[in-house]
Amino acid sequence: MTPVDELTAIELRDRIAAGQISSVEATQAALDRISRLDSTIGAFLVVFGDRALQVARDVDRRIATRQPVGPLAGVPLAVKDVMCTSFGATTCGSRMLQDFHCPSDATVIRKLLAADAVILGKTNMDEFAMGSSTETSGLRRTVNPWDRSRVPGGSSGGSAAAVAARLCSAALGSDTGGSIRQPASFCGVVGLKPTYGRVSRYGLVAYGSSLDQIGPLTQTVADAAILMNVIAGHDPADSTSVNEQVAPVDNYLQKLDEPVEGLRVGVTPSFNAGAEPAVQQAVNSAIDIYRGAGAEIVEIDMPHLDYAIAAYYVIATAEASSNLARYDGVHYGYRTPDPQDYIEVYTKSREEAFGKEVKRRIMLGTYALSSGYYDAYYLKALKVRNLIRGDFVRAFEQCDAICMPVAPTTAFRIGEKVDDPLKMYLSDIYTIAVNLAGIPGISVPCGFDDAGLPIGLQILTPAFSEAKLLRVARMYEARTDWHTRRPAIGG
Ligand code: GLN
**How much distance in Å is there from the Cα of 156 to the middle of ligand 1?**
9
Residue 179 known to be catalytic: yes
**How much distance in Å is there from the Cα of 90 to the middle of ligand 1?**
19
Distances (CA, A) of 77 to 5, 15, 169: 12, 16, 6
Of 354, 362, 360, the C-alpha closest to 325 is 362
Q: What is d(CA 278, CA 448) in angstroms, rounded to the nearest whole number?
A: 8
Q: Where in 414-453 does DSSP place strands (E)? A: 441-448
Catalytic residue selected from 80, 111, 348, 417: 80
- pLDDT for the residue 294: 97
Q: What is d(CA 237, CA 17) in angstroms, rounded to the nearest whole number?
A: 33
**Up-side HSE of residue 150: CA atoms within 13 Å toward CB?**
18
For the chain, give the longest Cα–Cα distance.
Answer: 71
Structural domains of the chain sorted by starting position, each given as residue range(s) with its CATH number in brackets: 3-261+469-484 (3.90.1300.10)
pLDDT in tens, the chain (491 residues): 678 889 999 999 999 999 999 999 999 999 999 999 999 999 999 999 999 999 999 999 999 999 999 999 999 999 999 999 999 999 999 999 999 999 999 999 999 999 999 999 999 999 999 999 999 999 999 999 999 999 999 999 999 999 999 999 999 999 999 999 999 999 999 999 999 999 999 999 999 999 999 999 999 999 999 999 999 999 999 999 999 999 999 999 999 999 999 999 999 999 999 999 999 999 999 999 999 999 999 999 999 999 999 999 999 999 999 999 999 999 889 999 999 999 999 999 999 999 999 999 999 999 999 999 999 999 999 999 999 999 999 999 999 999 999 999 999 999 999 999 999 999 999 999 999 999 999 999 999 999 999 999 999 999 999 999 999 999 999 999 999 999 998 65
User: At a CB cut-off of 8 Å and minimum separation 6, what does 167 contact?
Assistant: 5, 30, 33, 34, 37, 38, 41, 43, 44, 78, 120, 161
92 near 60, Cβ under 8 Å?
no
Q: What is d(CA 162, CA 377) in angstroms, rounded to the nearest whole number?
A: 38
Q: What is d(CA 197, CA 231) in angstroms, rounded to the nearest whole number?
A: 12
Q: What is d(CA 461, CA 465) in angstroms, rounded to the nearest whole number?
A: 6
Residue 383 known to be catalytic: no
- pLDDT for the residue 250: 93
Q: How far apart are the two ends of the chain, measured CA to CA in Å?
A: 17
Distances (CA, A) of 447 to 41, 104, 188, 281, 315: 22, 41, 9, 9, 33
- pLDDT for the residue 490: 66
Q: Where in 294-417 does DSSP place strands (E)? A: 296-299, 401-405
Q: What is d(CA 264, CA 261) in angstroms, rounded to the nearest whole number?
A: 9
List, as one string, the DSSP characters of 19-77.
TSS-HHHHHHHHHHHHHHHHHHH--EEEE-HHHHHHHHHHHHHHHHTT----TTTT-EE
- pLDDT for the residue 489: 82
310 near 378, Cβ under 8 Å?
no
Q: Which of 428, 432, 434 to mutate to test the pocket of ligand 1 (most atoms within 8 A of CB)?
A: 428
Q: Torsions phi, psi of 199, nearest 5? A: -120, 135
Q: Determine the atom of ligand 1 nearest the C-alpha atom of 132.
A: 1
In this structure, the residue with its CA closest to atom 10 of ligand 1 is 130
- pLDDT for the residue 135: 98
276 near 409, Cβ under 8 Å?
yes
**How much distance in Å is there from the Cα of 176 to the middle of ligand 1?**
5
Q: Is 179 in the pocket of ligand 1 (CB under 6 A)?
A: yes
Q: Is 175 in the pocket of ligand 1 (CB under 6 A)?
A: yes
- Answer yes or no: pTM beyond 0.95: yes
